[in-house]
Structure 1
């Protein structure tokens, strides 16, 4: 028994020494694999982006170009970012950013707007090819690009787009160089034929008309012909209100004729400004009739014809150009004060002469948009109003910033937590993880495969011996006659070839067998060894219990 125990101890030590060359690299590679896994952060870019966005959201208020109120009461801001105009819908009550969309724009970030149906129409100029683009934004829906024929806007967008009382007019050139004019009213696109009248022959130039006197009353296009004659075409959603006026001795006379035609058979008294005062002006007689009284004196007034029957007047409460805003909505003739907006304008500080300022009436709702605030007032019940200010938007930005910060913290926490899914992701996506996995697979797989092969061979050997025993095989004791080394070592133990002989059914049989032996207790000639003898094949095998 002592000999057998020593032999087993030697065998175990041999396996340990044999395993060391495999274990040390495996431990090193395993450590490197674990280190790579702990440093693996596929979300790092996303985390950094979230943190950056959270830190800069508070500054986004300074980048806002325009503020709007949507028909559902939410706010909408337009700001420049990465060469585009970013629309962000704000719910002031919940302090949240509801939705974001992008508009293609050139470097000037200029847009024209019109309230149509249940949303806003935006007109911009594409950055890459100066093509006029149209979009429709409605709360709760994806941004829709309007199907506008391809027309180019050379120069500033202001020279090609006009928003007037709920209709947007687009003037540009087609690919062949000819001029095209379109109107968008209630999302319906209509082409206005500039050469429909037989008087318009050899059109060489067309441009939107901006009058210092009747701009709010008279949307029009100037047409220049090759023979140097000029015409004015008044614009309207109604075809019967488009009048072609030949150029008179002066633009003033042309304007008067155009306005007279436009207001033929209508109320002819409108509000004008004379000597910084609001007055009633008769379009047909071209005379000032009466001054229009206001609840408070108004300084630096500006007029905005927000509807065919309504005029918005905005100004300052004193001669100081930075004094508080005051404003009123009158009927067309100025005889009736419809709404006093002063209380709602007092705390605002926008520039009503800025390009970003915009006002429009839809049914009974007045919308005012600007670069500093937005207001909506119900004309039937002025106590019902909404407003959007930088302070309200900033609260929504800060709420969103906190949300992004929490998302970043959660992603960071998840990246520090071990999970099967994360391990599989490391193996799939990280090159180091893939390399380590391949190395570990080969380093572990090859010895494991060898062990499996040995196990299978052992099982097959046992099965074979059992089959031999079941088919007449017998255990015999054979005497060792001669021992020679084969030169092979297994687990640092030598393999020997032994000539043995034994007696079976009175016959003396000699055979050769191979065995791995102990260096400390090697077999010697004259010793006996147990064998399994197969009479059918005549082969012998070392006996194994």
Structure 2
């Protein structure tokens, strides 16, 4: 009895901190709901600044809360919701007549084209007709008052859609007589939506191996303009020819584009795209330096920048310029309220209807503004100012939703309460015992399956409790081998587990048994510890196996020997480069799979010179080569570093039991010097060049490191970078590059289409 009483008193001692913390947390929660308010992701002004629309991600559920405000009375006029999936955000916005169009994406309904009127009316224009891949935002564009969508329908039909003046028109590229063969892929012509061309272009790969270029916009009849690339015509020459043709068709002056001139002090200048020639600076009423050009509508652009050649010594100013009439309207009264850093932010946009004197602004710092350029009245509001208008009765009530919002915010009290609850669970329910006993079994099951990203679409308690914890039946939806599948997973969870429907999860899926298990962070840490990379130096290439042509390259299996061990590495050897037996390399061994770290060079980069970044896969092409159960894939990846986005094309041999799809996020290692150079060059000029010479200096990874000399308009530029071996580079090729006129440095953006 005494022993039992001692145990009971011990149990009570453990519960005292939890009881006290629960009391403090409840009081803190009551204070929280008294001041809770949503947080905006985007704000836009409407109705000449009299109204403002704000969008905030709903804390529970897959939707955005949308609020329409009266900016004079500072109150909510109307609120509604729009659907979105668990990972999609907001697409590019565009103003249209009396409202604004903002796209979102929902798994069930596809692309949602939400048309918000200044009256509070909301229309959804797509009506379940546009389903896009996971990286849907790379298929949606805002250009001169239009919203453009390029995608593939459920029945594999490629289309281009346009929203203009609140009306949606859609063209099926497989329509009779539009193209000579069935389209199999569509890509944006690089830079054409960023004023590189008078009209945005798409490149369409056809089933008969030919290429067509189509306009990114539709005419008054809802039709596209089309140009076919000749067999003996280079890619960039065909792009220029299409740009000139489409400019004429749609009434734009291809010989007098207003563009940002990269030469110091960076004034906006006229550019003749027909002759690839820069003209004079645009004669603004007052000089504008370090200028940025924003496309507004079919006739007008905003030229904004600094009053001083060095922007640190000036303030922001700007004019709306009518490209047809040559007239200017002063927008400085709005722009002077912004910093130059905001002007450079990629998320900062300006909008103007052609028949209006009102210019609207939406900033990357979540601000909104407008200026009436006739009366010179202007206003700028930040999201913090608007959020003070957001206190509503429903958010001040005690509810499960508001409590969950409070818990999600964290804080010392919540964290301490959770820690003590966790201690009790560990002590009395032996939570830590079972995982240790089952660790070996979990690892084995995890390795038997294929790691796939999924989403919880349903969860419910089974009625079974283990150590007073509920067992929950999860239904997880995922894509495998191009098919959408569902699998049930039963798991015991804690009452404080925040998992909910819509959450992304990583699972290990066993195809043969149609069974799956969740992969936790602990599993990944354990796997990472077991698979710590091992560097193998001084490996000698002893044998080469050949597996056939891959585009302009050749697939090889390299056999290396080091310290009495043999290693195999599948690679693609590009045209003009050659792996040779007897040469040495440094390899890296990850989970038993060998890859090349460096070949043909003794200068290994130090780990401190590497940055760990993330890249999102936006296109995957399976190549017809499999070596040792590894499929060769050609992927396009967008690497994000701060506000900079870098597009990379990379081939990789991927184990067949691993899934790489559009939307997959991959870790990317990049040398700091390379990242700095590429981001600097991408901010400069771009153009087509001819390759004069190519020399190789070993490899970084499986990508050959090339020294390339190119010529543009009689000027020589120098490229030093790794190349994609599937494409390759040889003298005489056409490349599309970014370049620096002063240092003569350049980098490859697009390869030759030969």
TM-score (norm 2): 0.42
When structure 1 is superposed on structure 2, of 321-330 and 214-223 the one drifting more is 321-330
> Contact between 2:109 and 2:127, CA under 8 Å: does it hold in 1?
no
Q: Residue 122 of structure 1 corresponds to which residue in structure 2? A: 102
CA shift at 1:316, angstroms? 4.1
Q: Residue 612 of structure 2 corresponds to which residue in structure 1? A: none
Give, in whole Å, the separation in 2 of the partners of 1:54 and 1:143. Answer: 30
Question: What per-residue deviation string (whole Å, max 9, x for no partner) do you get for residues 300-341 of structure 1?
Answer: 4222221221111233455357975332211216944x1222
Q: Residue 105 of structure 1 corresponds to which residue in structure 2? A: 84
**Structure 2 SS opposite 1:258:** helix
Query: Which one of 347, 360, 365 corresponds to residue 356 of structure 1?
Result: 347
Q: Does 1:156 align with 2:135?
A: yes
> Contact between 2:268 and 2:292, CA under 8 Å: does it hold in 1?
no
Q: Residue 300 of structure 2 corresponds to which residue in structure 1? A: 310
Given the superposition, is the C-alpha separation of residues 250 and 279 from structure 1 closer, same or farther in structure 2, using an over 3 Å criterion? farther
| Matched ranges for 1:146-185 at <5 A | 146-185=125-164
Query: Which one of 374, 379, 384 corresponds to residue 368 of structure 2?
Result: 374
Give, in whole Å, the separation in 2 of the partners of 1:123 and 1:394. Answer: 23
Q: Does 1:256 align with 2:240?
A: yes
> Contact between 1:153 and 1:173, CA under 8 Å: does it hold in 2?
yes
Q: Does 1:388 align with 2:346?
A: no
Given the superposition, is the C-alpha separation of residues 221 and 329 from structure 1 closer, same or farther in structure 2, using an over 3 Å criterion? same
The structure with the greater share of residues assigned to strand is 2
Q: Residue 269 of structure 1 corresponds to which residue in structure 2? A: 256
Give, in whole Å, the separation in 2 of the partners of 1:85 and 1:137. Answer: 13
Q: Does 1:186 align with 2:165?
A: yes
What are structure 2's unaligned runs of at least 5 residues? 1-26, 399-754
CA shift at 1:68, angstroms? 0.6
Give, in whole Å, the separation in 1 of the partners of 2:197 and 2:388. Answer: 36
Between 1 and 2, higher relative CO (CA 8 Å, sep ≥ 6) is seen in 1
**Structure 2 SS opposite 1:367:** strand
Give, in whole Å, the separation in 1 of the partners of 2:314 and 2:259. Answer: 23
> Contact between 2:268 and 2:293, CA under 8 Å: does it hold in 1?
no
The alignment's C-alpha RMSD in Å is: 3.4
Q: Residue 75 of structure 1 corresponds to which residue in structure 2? A: 52
Give, in whole Å, the separation in 2 of the partners of 1:386 and 1:117. Answer: 20
Given the superposition, is the C-alpha separation of residues 141 and 294 from structure 1 closer, same or farther in structure 2, using an over 3 Å criterion? closer
**Structure 2 SS opposite 1:195:** coil
**Structure 2 SS opposite 1:392:** helix
CA shift at 1:173, angstroms? 2.0
Question: What per-residue deviation string (whole Å, max 9, x for no partner) do you get for residues 144-187 of structure 1?
Answer: 32243432211322322122222222222222222122222233
Q: Residue 64 of structure 1 corresponds to which residue in structure 2? A: 40
Given the superposition, is the C-alpha separation of residues 342 and 259 from structure 1 closer, same or farther in structure 2, using an over 3 Å criterion? same
Q: Does 1:206 align with 2:181?
A: no
Q: Residue 75 of structure 2 corresponds to which residue in structure 1? A: 96
**Structure 2 SS opposite 1:348:** coil
Question: What per-residue deviation string (whole Å, max 9, x for no partner) do you get for residues 396-426 of structure 1?
Answer: 23xx36x779989xxxxxxxxxxxxxxxxxx
Give, in whole Å, the separation in 2 of the partners of 1:236 and 1:288. Answer: 26
Q: Does 1:86 align with 2:65?
A: yes
Give, in whole Å, the separation in 1 of the partners of 2:135 and 2:196. Answer: 18
CA shift at 1:234, angstroms? 0.8
TM-score (norm 1): 0.57
Given the superposition, is the C-alpha separation of residues 292 and 146 from structure 1 closer, same or farther in structure 2, using an over 3 Å criterion? closer
> Contact between 2:212 and 2:227, CA under 8 Å: does it hold in 1?
yes
Q: Does 1:232 align with 2:213?
A: yes
Given the superposition, is the C-alpha separation of residues 340 and 110 from structure 1 closer, same or farther in structure 2, using an over 3 Å criterion? same
Give, in whole Å, the separation in 2 of the partners of 1:322 and 1:192. Answer: 50
CA shift at 1:205, angstroms? 0.5
CA shift at 1:190, angstroms? 1.7
> Contact between 1:69 and 1:388, CA under 8 Å: does it hold in 2?
no
Q: Residue 112 of structure 2 corresponds to which residue in structure 1? A: 133
> Contact between 2:257 and 2:271, CA under 8 Å: does it hold in 1?
yes
Give, in whole Å, the separation in 1 of the partners of 2:109 and 2:396. Answer: 41
> Contact between 1:75 and 1:388, CA under 8 Å: does it hold in 2?
no
**Structure 2 SS opposite 1:236:** coil
Q: Residue 331 of structure 1 corresponds to which residue in structure 2? A: 322
Query: Which one of 278, 301, 325 corresponds to residue 268 of structure 2?
Result: 278
> Contact between 1:132 and 1:152, CA under 8 Å: does it hold in 2?
yes
**Structure 2 SS opposite 1:98:** strand
Query: Which one of 235, 246, 264 corresponds to residue 228 of structure 2?
Result: 246
CA shift at 1:135, angstroms? 1.6
The structure with the greater share of residues assigned to helix is 1
What are structure 1's unaligned runs of at least 5 residues? 1-46, 409-545
**Structure 2 SS opposite 1:112:** coil
Q: Residue 423 of structure 1 corresponds to which residue in structure 2? A: none
Give, in whole Å, the separation in 1 of the partners of 2:67 and 2:30. Answer: 17
> Contact between 1:280 and 1:333, CA under 8 Å: does it hold in 2?
no
